[in-house]
Amino acid sequence: KAGVTQTPRYLIKTRGQQVTLSCSPISGHRSVSWYQQTPGQGLQFLFEYFSETQRNKGNFPGRFSGRQFSNSRSEMNVSTLELGDSALYLCASSPRHPTDTQYFGPGTRLTVL
């Protein structure tokens, strides 16, 4: 089976812009979770989706949002980018429910200038 795919892999934006990142889960997986990784804060949970519903959200401002489609693919959006949003954004999928084992994609490296 193909693993989790994330697009784009690298992205450069400027402050104030918005960005949309995409995640395609492993075929047949129904749940998607998103994480942000920075050198200072480490790996932090953003949100998780199951059956197109956001089930849980981490402690991030409202500029961070996401959604899941009926085919389980997910997108996350960050509006009004700040320099501190520069990070590796990771998507993980799990077979049936967010509490199943999560399998991570390669990540999208976002740089905000």
- Per CB under 8 A, 11 contacts another protein: no
Q: How far is the CB of 1 from another protein (least distance, A)?
A: 14
- Per CB under 8 A, 48 contacts another protein: yes
Residue among 13, 20, 22, 45 that touches another protein (CB under 8 A): 45
- Identify the CA nearest to 64 among candidates 18, 108, 113, 110: 18
The rounded distance, in Å, linking the Cα atoms of 47 and 54 is: 7
Return all residues near 18 (Cβ < 8 A) that are at least 6 apart.
Answer: 77, 78, 79, 80, 81
Residue among 55, 60, 75, 79 that touches another protein (CB under 8 A): 55
- Per CB under 8 A, 36 contacts another protein: no
Residue among 21, 24, 35, 85 that touches another protein (CB under 8 A): 35
Residues numbered 92-111 forming contacts with another protein, rule: CB under 8 A? 92, 94, 96-107, 109
The rounded distance, in Å, linking the Cα atoms of 93 and 14 is: 29
